[in-house]
Structure 1
Amino acid sequence: MKKNIIIIISLLIAYLSGQYLINTGIIDSYLQLNIFLIGINIILAVSLNLITGFTGQFSLGHAAFMSIGAYTSAILTAKMGLPFIVALIASGIVSAIAGVLIGIPTLRLKGDYLAIATLGFGEIVRILALNTDYIGGAIGFNDIPQYTNWTYVFIMTVVTVLVIRYFLNSFHGRACIAIREDEIAAEAMGVNLTLYKVFAFAIGAFFAGIAGSLYANYFYFIKPDSFGFMKSVDIVVTVVFGGMGSILGSIVGAIALSVISLFLQNIPELRMVIYSIILFLVMVYRPTGLVGKKDKEGKYFKGLRKEDFQHVSAKGN
């Protein structure tokens, strides 16, 4: 209880401090932009880590869910005039539904096959956006209302971290981690592999959609190429850089890479070279990431009972 109170007070102080610095102009628009991007990147990294780091399903299509959320929010706010909070929630729901629809057929695949399938899904979403005039096509979707502010970014970043942390601490979360460690053993315990993989995929997609909504309603303008393959790679790199299977690692990775990119913007001719060298050195000397530390195999099977999963298991898994 005492720990929770300290966390709540710390978050409240962080929020009020940020709001004060923005209102007084100490944090200018450029710095505010980068802070917002850090928040969005944290949401993306933590949500992908649930899928890849904790459940062990390698996805290269996370940017597609961000794209779905971004375009959903843009349509609802710019074309239909709905309140941003409605668009924000709807963006997450639509992305989660897309996650379920793509997850059911693809999550039976493993390894490289799953990566290729999710990569293909990402390209399908991008090409559909390119060829749909209603959302601007290749020209892009402009005149999106700027509703995203410090309050929305802060709250949604905190909510993402807390919800995924709570999920992982539940027996449902332990089931996902058990799948990552050993699918055969997890199935023997009664874990419905497909159900929990799709469940994790849907949660990750939901928060990626939220990130897309925040992005669209801050930058006024979005285009399909903003959510292409390289964006998915950037999210994967953030997760690996911070540490697979570590929420703190995703947060640290998102902050570190965003700050590195910020400082390297003044030397564009060397930016990608230095950026790549930093990533290489981290992977060589910290192969588990800045914070990541591989969990002991079998740790998450403790406390799992077969009867816990009987009400959610299905025959023919």
Structure 2
Amino acid sequence: MRTGIVILPEHRWWMAEHKWKAAEEYGFHHAWTYDHMGWRSLVDGPWFGAVPTLAAAAAATSRIRLGTYVASPNFRHPVPFARDLLALDDQSDGRFTLGVGAGGSGYDTQVMGNEPPRSRQRRFEEFVGALDLLLSQDRTSFSGDYYEIHDARGHPGCVQRPRLPFVVAANGPKAMGVAAKYGTGWVTTGPETEDEGAWWRGVAGITERFREVLAGIDRAKESVDFHLNADSCPVYSLSSVEHFRDVAGRARELGFTDLTVHWPRSEGVYAGSEAVLERVASDVLPELVGG
């Protein structure tokens, strides 16, 4: 099983840089940051843009994969965003993965004075489909309900061919269809619940439904990486070494290939100890790779 870690873009680079370097040194396979204008309880605190943060992370690392967790069409248009993605893929020498989702209501939509679209799912389908074209061909024209693209250029193209990989966030059937069609990987947050047992049962059900969606389009489940956002669970994954080991074991039993956690914060959401992270890196991550 591969493991990833999310580093929130809330610290000035002199403080954040060591975390990205440490994530690579610890042996994580991928590291991510949130792509939001602001996020939930942290909206009034420090917050930096995902694209320049990931560009800096690409310069500070050499092996670990990097990505957005997750980008959405809430405040992005596919044409300029595709240019940003090309640059990130180039700066990382082909280590970039686009994590992408439909987005929700909240600060990302309110801050720009935009009303959420009547069909967020339809906009999401167009957004991902347009990015697929823009990142895999030299010229793109596209006409949809939400986006118009006229002869957009795609030179020089991605380092990764035919384009950089997409990990598509999906819990419901329509978004799962997008993940099955375009995704190199699929990521789920599981159900919204404060009951840990109910969350794991929900994850199991969602995972089985996604397998059915893949089977419906004759796509082998082995051709898609299964990612689990461990910290959507009511209990923080790095609350202890023993708990992380239990989380990883459950995820593996459900067929997940990738497990993602969040860097511990001193307080509030994802509050935890970096000492636990260090022990997980030294004691558990090698076990998962070996397994």
Task: Determine if the TM-score, normalized by the shorter chain, exceeds 0.5.
Answer: no
Q: TM-score normalized by structure 2?
A: 0.28
Relative to total residues, which structure has the larger helix share, 1 or 2?
A: 1
Larger RCO, structure (CA 8 Å, separation 6 or more): 1
Relative to total residues, which structure has the larger strand share, 1 or 2?
A: 2
Q: TM-score normalized by structure 1?
A: 0.26
